Amino acid sequence: MNRSIVLARYPDGEIVEGDFALREGARPQVVEGTFVTRNRYFSMDAGFRQWMNADSGDNYLPGMPLDEAVQSIVLGEVIESRHPDFPEGAIVSARTAWEEYSLLDGSDLCSILEVDPRVPLHEYMSTLGPTGMTAWFGLQDIGRPQQGDVLLVSAAGGAVGTVVGQLGRIAGCHCIGLTSSEAKARWLRDEVGYHIAISRERYPDLPAALAEFAPQGIDIMFDNVGGTVLDAALGNLREGARIVLCGAIAQYEAEQPQPVYNTWELITKRANAQGFMFSDYAAQFPAAISELGRYLQQGSLKSFNQVYDGLEAAPRAFCDMMHGRSRGKCLVRLAAD
Amino acid sequence: MNRSIVLARYPDGEIVEGDFALREGARPQVVEGTFVTRNRYFSMDAGFRQWMNADSGDNYLPGMPLDEAVQSIVLGEVIESRHPDFPEGAIVSARTAWEEYSLLDGSDLCSILEVDPRVPLHEYMSTLGPTGMTAWFGLQDIGRPQQGDVLLVSAAGGAVGTVVGQLGRIAGCHCIGLTSSEAKARWLRDEVGYHIAISRERYPDLPAALAEFAPQGIDIMFDNVGGTVLDAALGNLREGARIVLCGAIAQYEAEQPQPVYNTWELITKRANAQGFMFSDYAAQFPAAISELGRYLQQGSLKSFNQVYDGLEAAPRAFCDMMHGRSRGKCLVRLAAD
């Protein structure tokens, strides 16, 4: 048997658990050039939400087909192989689907993980996985943090945001996080280590809040939200600012694209806005994993993970992650044998 | 006597000649650390329009004061000096004002021009001046053109646009220019050398026109316009595109900032948008002037200049330039003795 979670219908705006359904099928059969993984963790990533729409925008990935297992970054163990590069026992990360067993051929961001037995396995789907890579390369390569820089992070309590804030602090930045609720803002300050956390609940007028908390302007905006949040940041840049365009969660469930009015500010502030995907940096993953692993061991970096147990929990986990009900990295753990 | 053109009132939307007035005053007196120029050319630059508003946006330069000479990039000859670095006879470029004589202290983008006597003097306010520097550094440093790249230029018939299109062609790009009228589009193709020119007159639906003429997407967008034009380009990017944010003429006379909906495309296309000012590259001007001068001499680059004669012509020249009634670089030439 191979149980999976499929997209049962296209969401109408905010995605709900009922948009998904559990299916049972046959375990995949290995053929020459392929291998089968038993999956251990699913990574919940807002970026996949866009492709759950009937019209995904047609310009990055096509929309996910209905009644097929939901696409996702997955960690699994190779249990059967007829592929020379992926032997049995290897732990791999791949873009595959919410299913117990996957048939893979080594494409689609598939790579073998060099697992350190002292490190909990789920970290390779979190701080040492796509989330950590996104935070690391976005901040280091595009943000280029300098001592004393004001770093603004949107969706600061999310998977990437919790890592970026800590890395910014290590780099000597003044870290300001944006989040939905006061409870999360407190957590960002007390546990994650943001210097300042601004909640939508307490500060509905974001431009005014930024003028108050970043009066000298923003040097680095690490944006996971887009729309009005990006716009407010663009309205308060310091000269030479860097905008790390990582995600646009405000957009994935919106009926219309969100307008941004302050692109002109990029000119007057000689600012840079760069879009990226973590996978652009695949060749440099080992160095980043080693660096992030060292911070984790030293304790200068904490990993915030919210783990949901069991395949059946994936729809709830995904909806919680999308709608601000989870903190840090949201993961689904499949039952170990 | 020192005649000047002042801003008599703040424009109401589209600027008109009546917003300016002629004034007569006393010639400035040189004091220690200053020098006086007799001005020869005024450069008409859309970028200054923003500071002719009562509320300039308050985030780059404050609005120009009423009843003072209009700020502008000016070329003049030093006729009296008590400044060791600016001797009598030197030809200087500076950000000063629409006036016959200026009192300067060497600040405000002021520099001595190494004038080649074989080159017409006005070229130092055009292809070998701020216009050429803007085109050169925007395209080379931010656009980074590669053989075969699709280069889209907005306000292609303007000062910077005519230079960028030609430099793009030299670099082996497929050059597409955007302009207002069919007459200008023909001129862009026949005289300036754009491969394709798209006029708003013939193609009011710009996204559809871009889909037709750049079906593979745009590699470089050199934007002088902003707003809906920038938005249409963002909607049709190729992966790894570079957006050179040079100007936002659509915005300078608009009541409201213009919305841009497609910033999300910067993420999916891993694209870069960089704002800049030519003055950021001041240290590299001599090398660029030498390169552009060589192209001019070879004839591979043509300089398109529209010269208006006399101080009194400055308001008309500026309004023509703002509203698409001039072609190429718009200059005002003051009477030589």
**What tens digit of pLDDT does each residue of B22-32 get?**
999 999 999 99
A53-62, A167-176, B253-262, range with the lowest pLDDT: A53-62
Q: Maximum CA pair distance of chain A?
A: 62
Q: Is B326 exposed, middle or buried (0-12, 13-18, 19+ CB in 10 A)?
A: buried
Please compute the mean of the pLDDT values over residues A19-32 and round it to a whole number: 96
End-to-end CA distance of chain B: 14
User: Which residue in A248, A261, A262 is closest to B267 by CB distance?
Assistant: A248
The one-letter code for the residue type at B272 is: N
pLDDT at residue A56 greater than cutoff 80: no
Among the listed residues B36, B97, B37, the one whose alpha carbon sits nearest the alpha carbon of residue B67: B97
| Strand residues in chain A grouped as ranges (E) | 2-7, 20-25, 35-43, 71-81, 91-97, 101-104, 111-112, 150-153, 174-179, 196-199, 218-223, 237-245, 272-275, 305-309, 329-333
Tell me how far apart the alpha carbons of residues A262 and A228 are, in angstroms, rounded to a whole number. 10
* CA end-to-end distance (rounded Å), chain A: 14
Question: What mean pLDDT comes out for the span B288-317?
Answer: 96
In the predicted model, what is the mean pLDDT of chain B? 95
Q: How far is A208 from chain B (nearest CA, A)?
A: 16
**Is B261 at the interface with chain A, CB within 8 A?**
yes
The string of pLDDT tens digits covering residues A285-313 is 999 999 999 999 999 999 999 999 999 99
Q: Once rounded to an integer, what is the mean pLDDT over residues B199-208? A: 98
Q: Cβ separation of A262 and B257 shorter than 8 Å? A: yes
Could you tell me what percent of chain A has a pLDDT over 90?
Answer: 90
- Give A110 or B334, the one with higher predicted confidence: B334
- Residue A108's pLDDT is what? 81
The amino acid at residue B66 is L
Question: Rounded to whole angstroms, how far apart are CA atoms A144 and A219?
Answer: 10
The B residues from 182 to 241 touching A (CB cutoff 8 Å) are: 226, 230
CB-based contact (8 Å) between B51 and chain A? no
Distance from CA of A268 to the nearest CA of B (A): 6
Beta bridge pairs of residue B153:
B177, B222
How many angstroms from the chain centroid is the CA of residue B160?
5
Any B CB within 8 A of A107 CB: no
- Quick one: pLDDT at residue B60? 56
Mean predicted confidence (pLDDT) in B187-192: 98
CA distance B260 to B256: 12
CA B250 vs. chain centroid, Å, equals 14
Average of pLDDT values for B278-295? 94
pLDDT at B46: 93
Chain B CA closest to residue A272: B274
- Looking at residue B335, what is its pLDDT? 79
Mean pLDDT of A192-203: 98
Task: Output the 3-class SS for B282-320.
Answer: HHHHHHHHHHHHHHHHHCCCCCCEEEEECHHHHHHHHHH
Cβ–Cβ of B273/A269 closer than 8 Å?
no
Of A102, A103, A169, A106, the closest CA to residue A135 belongs to A169
Is A119 near chain B, with CB under 8 Å?
Answer: no
* Residue written as token pair 């069919």: B182
pLDDT tier at A336 (50, 70, 90 boundaries)? low
pLDDT(B336) > 80: no
pLDDT at B59 (0 to 100): 52
Please, which pLDDT band fits residue B130 given cuts at 50, 70 and 90?
Answer: very high
Cα A180 to Cα A185: distance, rounded to the nearest angstrom: 8
A271 to B271: CB separation less than 8 angstroms, yes or no: no
pLDDT at A257: 83
Residues of B within 8 A of A251 (CB-CB) are: 264
DSSP E strand stretches across A298-337: 305-309, 329-333
Chain B within 8 Å of A271 (Cβ-Cβ)? yes
Question: Number of residue pairs across A and B with CB atoms under 8 Å?
Answer: 101
Tell me which amino acid residue B259 is. P
Model ipTM? 0.91
User: Hey, are the CB atoms on B259 and A260 less than 8 Å from each other?
Assistant: yes
Question: Cβ of A263 and B245 within 8 Å?
Answer: yes
Residue A201 one-letter amino acid? E
Q: Can you give the pLDDT at residue A63?
A: 82
What's the gap in Å between the CA of B262 and the closest CA on chain A?
7
Q: Does A263 touch chain B (CB under 8 A)?
A: yes
| Confidence tier at A233 by pLDDT (50, 70, 90) | very high
Q: What confidence tens digit (pLDDT) does each residue in A61-109 have?
A: 678 999 999 999 999 999 999 999 999 999 999 999 999 999 999 988 8
* Cα of B331 to nearest chain A Cα, Å: 24
pLDDT of residue A55: 75
Contacts of A273 in chain B (CB under 8 A): 263, 266, 272-274
